[in-house]
Amino acid sequence: MIKNIVIDFGGVLVGLKKENCVAEYHALNMDVIGQYINDYRSEDLFNDLELGKIGINEFCEEARRQSGVNATDEQIKHAWLVLLTGVPQKKLDKILELRKHYRVLLLSNTNAFHWDYSVEHYFKDLNLYFEKVYLSYELGMTKPDRKMFEFMLQDAGIKAEETLFLDDSATNCKAAEKIGIHTWHIGENEDWTQRNFEDL
């Protein structure tokens, strides 16, 4: 019996449009940075950001170094921010509905810059939607590392077999399944808000 719903942020809640981001970096002659986005690469620069090893200012410095372009911090931040397209109201409404029947948590690989912007612009009150939030840059670990899932289970005091995890990454879902968590791999453009969770 499912008692807990764990939701990923990027691609499940917030819309992501990588072509916007790639185009902005191309306009800045920073294609080497845009290529990280285009290839879904997370090593080095972006991985350090998601792990909380560097902040947005260090990110900008490294982006300039790698590209050899003297763009401003604001230009680089804007190019990185246009990746996010917002959180549809129907998804927020669905979470409020789910909270009536389940413990709802968020588990995300993200960075402080994107997260702070999202909290300010997409959620009126984060506590309305999630009982607990687990973010890679705060924990110093990222999915699909099983330690991130294990930490969440222990910290929230929930059982894997009673938990359903929604993520747009098949790799992350497989990692969660290995420790007994039920998963739902959200396909591209799949509208998960229309499903009856009690039937899953």
Contact 85, 122 (CB under 8 A): no
Q: Residue 155 is encoded by which pair of tokens?
A: 């910290």
Task: Pick the catalytic residue from 8, 48, 167, 168.
Answer: 8
Give the C-alpha separation, 102 to 5, whole Å: 6
User: Is-catalytic flag, 39?
Assistant: no
CA-wise closest residue to 149 among 186, 112, 181, 183: 181
Q: Residue 79 is encoded by which pair of tokens?
A: 């190019």
Q: Residue 125 is encoded by which pair of tokens?
A: 């009150």
Give the C-alpha separation, 63 to 72, whole Å: 10
Q: Count other Cβ atoms within 10 Å, centred on residue 24.
A: 21
Contact 2, 163 (CB under 8 A): yes
Give the C-alpha separation, 79 to 198, whole Å: 40
CA-wise closest residue to 125 among 152, 96, 84: 96
Give the pairing type, strands 15-16 and 163-167. unpaired
Active centre residues (catalytic) = 8
